[in-house]
Structure 1
Amino acid sequence: MKRHLVTPLSALLLLPLPLLSSSGCSPSAERPAPAVSSSAPAPSSGAPFTATDSGWIQLMTPMNEQAGRLLALASAQESTPQLASWAAALAEEHRTELAQLRQLLGRMGLPGTNVHEGHDMPGMVTDADLDRARGLTGAEFDGFVRREIRAHLEQSQRVSRSESRAGGGEEAKRLAGRIADARAEQLRTLSSLGR
Structure 2
Amino acid sequence: MRTFSTPTAHRTTRRLALTGAVAAAALLLAACGGSGDSDGSMGGMEHGSKASATPSATASASASASAGAFNDADVMFAQMMIPHHEQALEMAELADGRAADPEIKKLVEAIEKAQDPEIRKMRSWLKAWGRPENAGHGGHGMPGMMSDADMKALAATKGKDFDRTFAELMIAHHEGAVAMAKTEQKDGADAAAKQVADDVVRTQDAEIAQLRKILDRL
The alignment status of 1:134 with 2:149, answered yes or no, reads no
- Aligned residue pair count: 155
Measured after TM superposition, the shift of residue 69 of structure 1 is 0.3
The alignment status of 1:170 with 2:170, answered yes or no, reads no
Secondary structure at the aligned position of 1:79 is classed as coil
What's 1:31 paired with? none
Gaps of 5+ in 1: 1-12, 17-44
What's 1:158 paired with? 179
Measured after TM superposition, the shift of residue 120 of structure 1 is 5.6
Determine which of 24, 48, 59 is the counterpart of 2:80. Answer: 59
Secondary structure at the aligned position of 1:161 is classed as helix
Cα deviation per residue 1:90-122 (whole Å; 9 max; x = unaligned)?
222111222222222222222233633262642
TM-score (norm 1): 0.68
The alignment status of 1:48 with 2:73, answered yes or no, reads no
Measured after TM superposition, the shift of residue 150 of structure 1 is 0.6
Partners of 1:133 and 1:169 in 2: CA distance: 36
Partners of 2:185 and 2:139 in 1: CA distance: 27
Larger Rg: 2
The alignment status of 1:194 with 2:194, answered yes or no, reads no
Secondary structure at the aligned position of 1:119 is classed as coil
Measured after TM superposition, the shift of residue 190 of structure 1 is 2.0
Contact persistence 2:100–2:159 (CA under 8 A): yes
What's 2:98 paired with? 77
Measured after TM superposition, the shift of residue 188 of structure 1 is 2.7
Measured after TM superposition, the shift of residue 68 of structure 1 is 0.6
Contact persistence 1:67–1:125 (CA under 8 A): no
Identity %: 26
Cα deviation per residue 1:105-155 (whole Å; 9 max; x = unaligned)?
222222233633262642113433222211122333222211111111111
Secondary structure at the aligned position of 1:49 is classed as coil
Give runs of aligned pairs for residues 79-118 of structure 1, distance below 5 A: 79-113=100-134, 115-117=136-138
Give runs of aligned pairs for residues 13-28 of structure 1, distance below 5 A: none
**Cα pair distance change 1:126/1:120, threshold 3 Å:** farther
Partners of 1:154 and 1:166 in 2: CA distance: 19
Cα deviation per residue 1:136-182 (whole Å; 9 max; x = unaligned)?
22333222211111111111112101211211222222221222122
The structure with higher relative contact order (CA 8 Å, sep 6+) is: 1
Contact persistence 2:79–2:135 (CA under 8 A): yes
Secondary structure at the aligned position of 2:215 is classed as coil
The RMSD of aligned alpha carbons is 2.7
